Structure 1
Amino acid sequence: AMWRAIDAGYAYFDGGSRPRWRKARGHWHRMAARAGSTPQLVSALEGAIAELRDDHVMLVSPGKSTGRRIPYDLDIWPRWREGTVSIEAVRTFGDADVAGLHAGQVVTRVQNVPVESAVREMLGAGRSTIPDIEWALRRVLAGPRIGLQRIDIREARRESVVEVERTAPAPSTSPPILARRMGDERDIGYIRVRIGAANGDLAPHFAGALGHMTGTRALILDLRESAGPGSREATRSILSRFATQPTPWQVRQAPGNPRATDTVEPDGATYTAPLVVLVDRWTAGEGEALATGLVAVAKARVVGTAMAGLRGELHEITLPVSGIVVRYPGERTFVAASGAPREAFQPSLPVDLSAPSGGPGDPILYRALKLLERR
């Protein structure tokens, strides 16, 4: 059932992924048929979807997962640059951050294995693109769910070893919405939205927080903390609070079909002052949809790094007997404001975390506040 659904409906097959997917079918089908338990079945299904090398293809199992959800449980964002693995970003307060890793460092070994060898083992034989390599790197650096992860790094010609104590991702006690006023005159609103938070419905919380921003001359919307995939209802509800008229916010295209445009209607009191959206590599899934939607709906300026780059609009199928849910991109998505693929979106004001301005602290928020300074 999973193979048929993905083979017919996955929106991002190309000249490399479709042959690889079809070639591997027999092997993973046999592994799934031999599975004697749910964990064994999940392992076989995960092996199959790994052939797609797409972070937005995922399983939701009735049992506990043994791995880390990427990008949601990842705390090191690696990049492959001319044969070198560099750290582009480290998630604030994550295990890697606590251990002392930071943007700009070069990774040479993980768990005593040269990082190139670890990637090659994960990808297998055959040609690999840079996106393939970086997909594998994210899994290599995600580390075990629990335990010690040894990472060899190089920085300014000095080499050292960092031991990252991996702890099981714990449910956050942070509220889904955090709102306050900022600036010398407290006239800049700030709302942090935890997309995918499990502790409450975002839409009414956001409406309440936005109501307290009446009279502010600008608003900063912080979308850098995605706890999970999020909900489309919350995305549309938040967008509606910035729409002054029916406005296109996203374009979708299923395989073999024409493009379809999604429109949002105004709902409630509309916030019309300038809007700045903060994003980083952990702005993922619905967070990316919301950020790019706000560019179209509210002419928002986006500050930060590239986002997670999760591709497409999710479709899902529930497998019979096991009840495992398989989610995969069934439609390509495009930014309504430009028509460009959503996964390729870049901030209008990029921030290089390996050489930030403004000193220690939060360089992305610093850049946003500088942008909103009175001239």
Structure 2
Amino acid sequence: MKRLSLLNAPLVLSGAFFLGASASAQTPDYRADAIHLLELIDTEYAYAHRFDGRNPARGAQGVDPDSVTDAASLLRFAECAVNALQDHHAILGVSSPRSYGLTPSYNDLWVEVREGAYVVTDVRAGSPAQAAGVQPGWRIASVAGQSLDEAVTGLCGGPFETDAAKGFAARVLAAGPRDQAREFVFFDAEGQTQALTLPNLYQVETPERPLINVTDRDGVRVLRFNDSLGDEGLIAAIDEALSGPRPDGLIIDLRDTPSGGDTLYARALMGRLVDETKPYQRHALPQIERDTGVARQWVEEVLPRGDSLAGVPVVVLAGRWTGSMGEGLTLGLDAVADAVTIAAPMAGLLGAIYDYDLPQTGWTVKLPTETLYHVDGTPREAYRADIVLDSADRRGPNGEDLALERALELLR
């Protein structure tokens, strides 16, 4: 069964295995669900071109349907199959306490391979890693007592052979199993060893925050979205944030939107910034072209609503913890509001995900099924901001928010 997921990074069940509703009161055929998952990836995954059209889960480490006999082995199989896609937007709707956390929603370290080293290229603002002093440029030597090279080699779903694939695996490992603290050994900027224990983000209590923080800076209104792009009540919060005197400029801060959201709320914001209908993104279903030779593409539009703020200059801030709908909104504001975008590379979450239910267990698998594009045809994951920063959340020597200050300078 297939359905469009309303939230691009929905709440993932944790705790004991979710054995959900099976097709009947009988014991589910777990192996049949394993085979069905591989067939779903064959037919529905929109980004198979990254692997020359093949399904990388077939033959990957830990992906053997014959090893699946119960719920625990099916979950391990499914996690390994999803890891093989090397795609942080392909996720499961079921987990165990030992399952690795989701990136970027429950990760505070962005790790990439550079010149053979595992380098922290960004640290999430306000996170345990930042509080512990981890800085961009630090290298990770080990995680959970194992060298990162060995851990990447041993992570199921491999082999992870390219630098991009190794970076994906390193981020999975950096998020850590959900039920335990994370043990790291870093090399800092001076090459000194730093051994740190960081709490898992699933164990960190998130303080209550408004859906949008609104501040005024000399007539420029700053709207910082607090990972709220799928929250009920956001439309009212948007309208409240845009009420009152017409601002001289708007800064839309999307640097803390890792969990994605719903296009409804993106269109609600953009609809206040236009005075005529405008296209904001392109969609495609590559599977249809693959199966029939006939392409299917369509354009999603934004319609005006409420009191229009069209013509107000807009600057968008984005970064590594701008995910999915946050990325789509960044591109959409570029298209419909002629916004200036200031961003580090974003999370790069691929496409729009659909929910698929495994027929025996009822477990949900979330796969990128549509490819998404800027209206100019640029794939969303390949978009580059007008002003590219190494890290949009990086602070100056006295704690200055450099990206925000750059945005204010532009609007002044």
Please give the alpha-carbon distance, in whole angstroms, between the structure 1 residues aligned to 2:96 and 2:178. Answer: 15
Unaligned runs of 5+ in 2: 1-35, 290-294
Task: Name the counterpart of 2:358.
Answer: 319
Give the C-alpha shift of residue 220 in structure 1: 0.5
Give the C-alpha shift of residue 155 in structure 1: 3.1
Task: Name the counterpart of 1:341.
Answer: 379
Task: Name the counterpart of 2:302.
Answer: 264
Indicate whether 1:249 and 2:280 are aligned.
yes
Deviations 1:184-208 (A, max 9, x none): xx30101111344676421221111
Task: Name the counterpart of 2:113.
Answer: 80
Partners of 1:314 and 1:327 within 8 A in 2: yes
Higher relative contact order (CA 8 A, sep 6+): 2
346, 349, 354: which is aligned to 1:307?
346
Deviations 1:92-145 (A, max 9, x none): 121111211011222222233222222222267757222211111111211232
Task: Name the counterpart of 2:58.
Answer: 22
Task: Name the counterpart of 2:315.
Answer: 276
Give the C-alpha shift of residue 307 in structure 1: 0.4
Partners of 1:197 and 1:227 within 8 A in 2: no
Give the C-alpha shift of residue 300 in structure 1: 0.7
Paired amino acid for 2:333: L
Deviations 1:73-105 (A, max 9, x none): 110011211112221110112111121101122
Please give the alpha-carbon distance, in whole angstroms, between the structure 2 residues aligned to 1:121 and 1:16. Answer: 24
Q: How does 1:1-375 map to 2 (within 5 A)?
A: 1-14=36-49, 15=51, 18-24=54-60, 27-32=63-68, 34-35=69-70, 37=71, 39-61=72-94, 66-122=99-155, 128-167=161-200, 168-182=203-217, 186-196=218-228, 200-212=232-244, 214-226=245-257, 228-255=259-286, 256=289, 257-272=295-310, 273-336=312-375, 338-353=376-391, 359-373=398-412
Unaligned runs of 5+ in 1: none
Please give the alpha-carbon distance, in whole angstroms, between the structure 2 residues aligned to 1:25 and 1:129. Answer: 16
Give the C-alpha shift of residue 171 in structure 1: 4.5
Paired amino acid for 2:388: P
Paired amino acid for 2:296: P
Partners of 2:98 and 2:179 within 8 A in 1: no
Deviations 1:225-248 (A, max 9, x none): 125231121122222111221111
Give the C-alpha shift of residue 63 in structure 1: 7.4
Partners of 1:150 and 1:161 within 8 A in 2: no
Please give the alpha-carbon distance, in whole angstroms, between the structure 1 residues aligned to 2:88 and 2:153. Answer: 18
Partners of 1:100 and 1:162 within 8 A in 2: no
Report the number of matched residues: 365
Please give the alpha-carbon distance, in whole angstroms, between the structure 2 residues aligned to 1:164 and 1:222. Answer: 30
Please tell me the root mean square deviation across aligned C-alpha atoms, in Å: 2.6
Change (3 A) 1:188 1:250: same
Please give the alpha-carbon distance, in whole angstroms, between the structure 2 residues aligned to 1:55 and 1:201. Answer: 27
Paired amino acid for 2:89: H
Give the C-alpha shift of residue 334 in structure 1: 0.9
Paired amino acid for 1:191: L
Change (3 A) 1:261 1:124: closer
Partners of 1:28 and 1:48 within 8 A in 2: no
Paired amino acid for 2:253: D
Give the C-alpha shift of residue 249 in structure 1: 0.7
Change (3 A) 1:316 1:332: same
Question: Which stretch shows the higher mean deviation, 131-140 or 141-150?
Answer: 141-150
Deviations 1:29-56 (A, max 9, x none): 2344x11x4x543332112221211111
